[in-house]
Structure 1
Amino acid sequence: MNVLVAGSTGKTGSQLVAQIKEMGQTPLALVRESSDTSVLPEGVTTRVGDLTDLDGDVCADADVVVFAAGSGGSTGPEMTDKVDREGAKRLIDIAAKSGVKRFVMLSSVGADNSNPKGDLAHYLEAKHAADEHLKASGMTYSILRPVALTDGDRSDSIKLGSDVDKSAQARRADVAYVLADAAVNGTHDGKAQDMQSA
């Protein structure tokens, strides 16, 4: 199975690529020309593409696509719109046209709210728009909405769904594992759910 990963060189994305490879599948790491690919496992196939200007063939040969990208906390609203909203929506559209079987979205806790408040309101609006676009795409989807991300090794326990404490934390290693499981095994098909490391 070929799994295209957008955001493959990020802190979560690089662990996701490694996890997909460990599961015996073939990750296709979507990278920009300026990306630091040294964080990727050795021998991983890379595909050059920029989420702000994607080619229509970016999903060629991909069975599954995972969007684990983000504009980053230090960028302004314009970049959030370009990457987290429009980039995600464009990738969804290309994936659907290319016959991709499943699309997995790394979203954020709070993105289920169509009218968020507070400091993260613009970011959450963008994530909400992308999530809704995915749901309407016709593809099999899975949307994961982790709470605040932290580093560290995988934990012994992961909590999903309505029992999640929204003030808790989620380890990136756990997030990568759940995303890989969703992509490769379809464990969370048709679900949009919050997540924490217990």
Structure 2
Amino acid sequence: MEFLIFLLTATISFLGSIQLGSVNLAVIQTTLSKNFSAGVSVAIGGSIPEIIYSALALEGLLFIQQNQSFLDKLNLLMIPVFIVMGIVYFFQKNPDVNIATATPVNLKVNFLKGFSLGMVNPQILPFWFFISVYINKYIVISSLATKSAFILGAVTGAFGILYLFAFISNRQQLKIQKLLKGYPINRAIGLIFLILALFQVIKTWVD
């Protein structure tokens, strides 16, 4: 059961982090302007907040588990939240990424840059809160083992996609700008949220 929670959470974290936010762009820009190791340092730093915020989300989940009426209302609230997030991402344009001039590499500075950008991301905590509520409807997350699997999955998935951004940026430096301009990443994420909203409407209606 713990492995299933880890795998599911890691997949959600990986896919949810594809959208081009501040940490993703910092990884790409650092890799292009410095080197692969610097980009990975940003990725590691940017992944740490996932541990903090996913743990906080689980603490909030413990409260609603003890208040069923609040949980029912929250399930209804998830519908407009998913719809709004879907619309925002669907119409959000991919930002430009420019290749900058190389500068001396300081891995600690790059780590702190990634960590700082991740900590000030206002989307992480509500994202993991709603995801924990959603998963908990099918798989109970209450023991230390299941909570650890959830948190480990969150950070693993986030680091996985950030590492992939650094790897691709390092290998395809000249093609990365065309990729970001031509592939509607945010639109795809928006569709995923809209599908989740539709699924939630159907489940609420059936229940």
Same fold (TM over 0.5): no
TM-score by length of 2: 0.23
TM-score by length of 1: 0.23
Higher RCO (CA-CA < 8 Å; seq separation 6+): 2
Q: Whose Rg is larger?
A: 2
Query: Which structure features the higher share of strand residues?
Result: 1
